[in-house]
Amino acid sequence: MLIDVLTALQDWAPVAALRHSRWTYASVNAAHIIGIALLFGAIVPLDLRLIGWRRTVPIGTMVRVLLPVAIAGLLLAVVAGFALFSVRAVKYAGTGVFQVKMALLACAVTNALLLKYAAQWEAQQTKVGVAPPPRLQLAGALSILLWLSVIVCGRMIAFVD
């Protein structure tokens, strides 16, 4: 049943047009990369702050500035990524590296959603320069590792036959 759905997706007229259009496909691919750049570029400074870097900058300030950029990047990357996936849905869905990427992506997004604890910690913080609790430091390091792994798996998909 899943193969039937994926086959119907990749045979859908707009997807077939995307597959056969050099410039549209390249534009969607560029949008995916821009989304990843926005997401990762916003996430890394937040995660480094959680790990303990630049303690003079309040986490709340960084979150207010960088979180909307990260969310916009994630949305762009997911929408463009789905479009890229749809071109060869059956092939990609059956690829181990794609499945690993999706699992890592789910873990990275879950980790990010759980980091709302960081805002609660920030609100309770009374001294500037206080190190985040070890739990937040671990979550920040894990976030960088997860997002890097998602990116690497995504690039590896292009090289799988």
Does 160 score more than 90 pLDDT? no
Q: How long, in residues, is the chain?
A: 161
pLDDT at 3: 87
Q: How many domains does the chain have?
A: 1
Q: Work out the mean pLDDT of the chain and round it to a whole number.
A: 88
**pTM for the predicted model, two decimal places:** 0.85
Q: Which pair of structure tokens corresponds to residue 68?
A: 């909307």
Distance (Å, rounded) from C-alpha 135 to C-alpha 115? Answer: 10
Residue whose C-alpha is closest to residue 50's, from 107, 114, 115: 115
Range of the domain at 14: 2-157
Angstrom CA distances, 80 to 29, 36, 67, stand at 7, 10, 20
Distances (CA, A) of 4 to 9, 48, 87, 114, 129: 9, 44, 15, 35, 56
pLDDT in tens, 32-88: 999 999 999 999 999 998 888 877 777 778 888 999 999 999 999 999 999 999 999
